[in-house]
Amino acid sequence: MNTIENIDENPNQELLTQPPTQTQNQTQSHSRRPRGFAATAAAAAAAAAANNNSNSNNNNASSGKGKKEREKEKERTKLRERHRRAITSRMLAGLRQYGNFPLPARADMNDVLAALAREAGWTVEPDGTTYRLSNQSQSHHHLHQQMAAAAATTTAAFPVRSVESPLSVKNCSVKASVECQPSVLRIDESLSPASFDSVVIPERDSRGGEFNASTSPINNSVECLEADQLIQDVRAGEHEDDFTGTPYIPVYVMLANHVINNFCQLVDPELIRQEISHMKALNVDGVIVNCWWGIVEGWNPQKYAWSGYRELFNIIREFNLKVQVVMAFHEYGANDSGDAWISLPQWVMEIGKGNQDIFFTDREGRRNTECLSWGVDKERVLNGRTGIEVYFDFMRSFRTEFDDLFVAGLICAVEIGLGPSGELKYPSLSERMGWRYPGIGEFQCYDRYLQQSLRKAAKLRGHSFWARGPDNAGQYNSLPHETGFFCERGDYDSYYGRFFLNWYAQTLIDHADNVLSLASLAFEETKIIVKVCMELS
């Protein structure tokens, strides 16, 4: 009874005393917390898993961002390439249309560079080798190309006897092709073709023009070759004015300027005849005669008086001397000197009284009447003619008047005056303006026409405020370090300074190009001479 009562009072006692089931064991095992080393390992594993998840997310994000940047860069590269191709296409079209360059349909910049180099007188070979040839070395290089064309699989160096010639010859070693076919020598590529006066070639067959391989010493031995077998002079035919290697130098004597007066009359024919006779006794080759624009066309435009020069040339012809003529478009002498005074034509000076801008002008506005300003080269301010037309008409009149002397060879050369004293220069160092050595002089670009040219150049450059001359370039007798323009690190090296100096120098070059292009038309095959003076300003 007691037992039954105890059971009734504790109905769950049997369950508590029974062993746990499998489900209960699993529940307890999952809820149990690790301890000791197990706890540490579990924490590390959890942290690693979290880091892996974070890195994976970050990598995915950065990968997507990098891919977008790469795509954008590709697009930018494509745009740049399209822009470059468009510019190249326009350049090629311009060269074909305006420069008559025979560029291929799919030309690249290599083709353009080669065409420009050939236009400038350079030689460009198919492999890109580029060089310039002088007149004397063209034949050398032609033979050099033929020799170098025979490539040798086996080369042998052997000495060659040095041979003296009128020009310099250098001792060198020559590489020869050792083949069973007709042999051609190959010159060492390190030597310039211009350094060879004579070229070593193999012996020719006496029965024809072909090279004989069996008799050539190249194929038989590497001993010294006989000079009489191997040296052939390949120099071009000597011109009559080429005196290289000879002791002879032609001598020309300039006649005095006062032999012709301002009315184009020969002052003293007998005295001139005596002087020329004396020159002939000294074995001179000829005389130099100044033909003054201010005398021949001195009084009226396009009215040329050549009578005095005709008489002078006839006397020179009697003594069988040659003449070099100077087309003198500048003035000569000074008003206060005892020498002859030859000004520009009187009708030009009359125009200058009403329009002083036809003369060179400095910063202070002082005019220089030594010659016409290059600003009027293409301005119709000389009774309806430009400066270039006036020069050309004068040269053409001379060529027509003395055609018989050109045909007979009496007049062998013509010198073209291009500026003050007949030289290609600005009148920057003018003594009449007070210049003394070693002054730097002054810029001569302040007449109306050169100022117009400067404004146009500045506008095209996109800097209209550059249309001015430098205001810190000093005076005629200043020294470079005394000025802000020419001193070390001065304004000459600034963007404006380089622009101005380029324009100033280009104006000088354009004047020479314009005058000489017409001189070549007027005098055709006659030798033309110019004087170039190098000065800074």
265 has pLDDT over 70:
yes
Q: Which CATH class is domain 252-530?
A: alpha beta
Give how far Cα 301 sits from Cα of 105, 256, 349, 385, Å. Answer: 53, 26, 12, 10
Q: Are 442 and 473 in contact (CB under 8 A)?
A: yes
DSSP class per residue in 77-98: HHHHHHHHHHHHHHHHHHHHHH
Question: To the nearest whole percent, how much of the chain has pLDDT over 70?
Answer: 65
> Residue 176: pLDDT band by 50, 70, 90 thresholds?
very low
Give how far Cα 521 sits from Cα of 152, 306, 342, 419, Å. Answer: 50, 21, 27, 20
Q: What is the pLDDT of residue 149?
A: 45
CA distance 361 to 169: 54
DSSP class per residue in 264-292: S-BS-HHHHHHHHHHHHHTT--EEEEEEE
pTM of the predicted protein model = 0.56
- Name every residue whose Cβ is closer than 8 Å to that of residue 249 and which is 6 or more positions away in sequence: 243
Handedness of CA 318, 320, 321, 323 (dihedral sign): positive
SS3 of 416-485? ECCCHHHEECCCCCCHHHCCCCCCCCCCCCCCHHHHHHHHHHHHHHCCHHHCCCCCCCCCCCCCHHHCCC
In the three-class reduction of DSSP (H, G, I as helix; E, B as strand; rest coil), residue 175 is classed as strand
What would the mean pLDDT of 48-61 be, rounded to a whole number?
A: 61
Which residue type does 281 have? Answer: A
Lookup: tokens for 336: 């206060």
Domain ranges of the chain: 83-120, 252-530
Q: Are 319 and 276 in contact (CB under 8 A)?
A: yes
Q: What is the pLDDT of residue 44?
A: 65
CA distance 533 to 537: 11
28 has pLDDT over 60:
no
Alpha helices in 298-344 (DSSP H): 307-318
Tens of pLDDT, residue by residue over 341-362, are 899 999 999 999 999 999 999 9
Which residue type does 317 have? Answer: R
What would the mean pLDDT of 287-308 be, rounded to a whole number?
A: 95
What would the mean pLDDT of 111-121 be, rounded to a whole number?
A: 81
